[in-house]
Chain A
Amino acid sequence: MNLEGSETGNSIRRFAIAIPLIIGILGILFLIDLMLGSVNIPPDALLTILTGGAAKETWTTIFWDWRLPKAITAVFVGGALALSGLLMQTFFRNPLADPFILGISSGASLGVALVMMSAGFCGVGIIFASIGLIGDISISVASILGAFAVLLLILLISSKIQSNITILILGIMVSYISGAIVTILLQFSDEASMHSFTFWTMGSFSGVTWSQLPILVTLLLAGFIMSFFLVKSLNALLLGEQYAESMGMNYNRTRIVIITTTALMAGVVTAFCGPIGFLGIAVPHLCRALFVTADHRILVPGCIIIGGILALCTDIISHVPGTGIVLPLNAITALFGAPVVIWVIVRGTRFGRGITT
């Protein structure tokens, strides 16, 4: 057999070579994200700040209080969104699935809205929503629960209905319904919470403070680790549920783990950064095309890194460097993500069928 040099190691070996490169790009973008913004911090000043030297005070404040938490958030959130998109695409065997489209983000929004708005209704809510850590946790929990509820609903429907297109449409409908409930809630809330909620829906990496960051990072890291343990089952699921089960995969357990992981990541991200669209759907497709494989042993780490890279890019663009303008993050992700979705649909019948219906 002269296949020795051409086994499956190929794509993995290729990925091993690419890893330092893409991590390098991630590092460079991370530094650029630290430097650029409404006020640009020059590289030498950045170095001084990092080494603990004395730089201009405003720069130091901006760096520590704004830029660094924002950049760290972007890296983790980008990875988490990409990963939850990947899990959904494989699980539903649908190239157009992602937490945003399936209404999971909307479910999370509803959870957040309920907590935020209840602040306007009663005193307990105010205490919950406004007091630092407890407020963050209650919002996160509400968001994760909202995400989980929508996912369970979709799962329930998908066990009855085979057509993936139907499930997508139902997901969109669910997100309309939760959107409608949120709008009605807004009508009854005071102006302050209405404003903060509206701002939150635009999506932003900047809202995460140092006290919140450990929560965000810990929960998302947990999601990353759970995803790594899923790679084998995800690969089996590429052949479909029946094949996967015939190979000894415990479908019910895998299903619960996939859903929990996705709800955790999508819920946490939505709680802290708002409902961010398109990264979840676009990054997995980019990774498949980039690494020319559907093997999740490559796609899971690939999505985390590429997701981080794209999140940093969108963050840099949204903070229009050198100006005071901050564009809504969702506008930027849509601007770059929508073409990817179009590409997937247009090429869907030939090469783009990473996972077809």
Chain B
Amino acid sequence: MNAISILTCENLTIGYRNQKTVIKEVSKDLNLNLIRGELVCLIGPNGSGKSTLIRTLAGIQPPLHGDVWLRDKKIDDLSSEERAKSFSVVLTTPVQVGYLTAFDIVALGRFPYTNWAGRLTEPDKNIVISALASVGAHDLAQRFIHELSDGERQKVMIARALAQEPELMVLDEPTAYLDLPHKIETMRILKRVAQKNKKSILLSTHDLNLAIRCADQLWIMDRNGTMISGTPEDLVLSGIFGSAFEIDGVSFDAVRGEFTIPVEKRGTFSLIAPESVERIWTSYALERIGYVPADGTVSDIIVTIHKDGQKPVWNLSHPGGEQTCESIRSLVESISVTCFLGDDSH
């Protein structure tokens, strides 16, 4: 597969120019490259300049220095119509409009192609319909946009951006407002659009776990506006990913690929059980109440999981004795009663 660069920028400096004299540099010396069919997630803490970069790449805001190239043309040299045919956007602000069906909204994506009255030709209609189908929203076509849920509306907005037939789609936090299953669905749709429709997709997001799993490339902006890009796995392995986001007490677990919630440490545990779902979730539960896996052979508590037919049974042994529990809830309660109280009495 030959990689075609859709968007490149060299030594780009982004920021604001409030008056003619006041210049606030957000980030400088950015060298970025977006390849056709790739999904790129732009991540970074709040206030790192993600939106500024998105706006600059989309041509909404001029760069302070350097140029953005779309294939072999400077973005400034493109007419607004050429630009609209090259890339489309999905913005964070929800669209609030009544009496327009999802079809009408998606059809607006044909704006750069239609005549002065915005009349849709047959090919235009087919493009709109297939855009709706690509995001799995064909059944929403005749629904009014103000009657849709946030997740459905996001699908329609993605379909609109797709109907604009761009080479590059830029999405500003498309997964904000959505619950986890809808976040995942949105990412799945975008990934499919990137692969099947051969579009480059750049999106900013705060959902780091999703970004690691979905992105072909991660662009990480840290608090100082420094940009690091790379394959998610490489960034995790090199520790760059973790260090960009870690704040006091919150650390990145490179094995699980997620950030751990800090808890006060109570003691150590040993878990004796075969590899199973029960084992994983039992260890999660123990970690949640402050126990960490024991390094050596000595541990404060030992939990053994037995399979009694279909149902698992937890056997807890601690210095004070042994107990059998039928659920994780009762296991956690037993540990709290016996071990925590014991701690307090010291």
Contacts and interface: CB of A to CB of B under 8 A. Distances in A.
Interface of A: 1, 3, 6-8, 10-11, 228-229, 231-232, 235-236, 238-240, 242-243, 245-250, 288, 292-295, 297, 351-356
Given A248-B80, A250-B80, A8 B89 contact: no
Given A1-B129, A239-B95, A353-B146, A8 B164 contact: no
A320 B185 CA distance: 63
B138 interface: yes
B98 A356 contact: yes
A355 B101 CA distance: 14
A238, A243, A351 interface centre (most CB from chain B within 10 Å): A243
B118 A297 contact: yes
Nearest to B105: A239
Given A7-B141, A232-B111, A249 B80 contact: yes
B96 interface: yes
Contacts of A353: 96-98, 146
Contact of B117 (A7, A231, A239, A292): A231
B109 interface: yes
Given A240-B93, A354-B97, 5 more contacts: A236-B108, A242-B89, A246-B84, A247-B109, A294-B99
A248 B98 contact: no
B141 A238 contact: no
8 contacts: A6-B141, A246-B84, A246-B89, A247-B88, A288-B98, A293-B104, A294-B98, A351-B146
A243 B118 contact: no
B60, B103, B112, B133 interface centre (most CB from chain A within 10 Å): B103
A3, A11, A231, A236 interface centre (most CB from chain B within 10 Å): A3
Given A245-B60, A247-B111, A249-B80, A293 B88 contact: no
B125 interface: yes
Contact of A292 (B91, B99, B108): B99
Which size bracket describes the interface of B in this complex?
Answer: 35 or more
B111 A248 contact: yes
B118 A245 contact: no
A353 B100 CA distance: 11
Nearest to A288: B99
Contact of B97 (A228, A231, A238, A297): A238
Contacts of B28: none
Nearest to B119: A297
Contact of A1 (B81, B84, B133): B133
B85 to A, nearest CB: 7
A292 B142 CA distance: 12
A243 B91 contact: yes
B288 interface: no
B58 interface: yes
A243 B107 contact: no
Nearest to A243: B91
Contact of B108 (A235, A250, A288, A356): A235
Contact of B103 (A7, A229, A235, A356): A7
Contacts of B83: 248
B60 A7 contact: no
A238 B101 CA distance: 12
Contacts of B96: 353, 355-356
B84 to A, nearest CB: 3
Nearest to B130: A1
Contacts of B128: 7-8
Contacts of A7: 103, 120, 125, 128-129, 141
B163 to A, nearest CB: 10
A292 B58 CA distance: 34
Contacts of B114: 232
Contacts of B100: 238, 293-295
A11 B100 CA distance: 10
Contact of A354 (B99, B105, B109): B99
Contacts of A354: 97-99
B81 A248 contact: yes
B111 to A, nearest CB: 4
A232 B112 CA distance: 10
A8 B120 contact: yes
B111 A249 contact: yes
A239 to B, nearest CB: 5
B209 to A, nearest CB: 29
A245 B91 CA distance: 12
Nearest to A248: B84
A135 B107 CA distance: 48
Nearest to B126: A1
A247 B108 contact: yes
B167 to A, nearest CB: 14
A232 B116 contact: yes
B89 A295 contact: no
B122 to A, nearest CB: 10
Contacts of B58: 246
A333 B96 CA distance: 29
A10 B91 CA distance: 28
A306 to B, nearest CB: 15
A3 to B, nearest CB: 5
A297 B114 CA distance: 13
Contacts of A292: 99
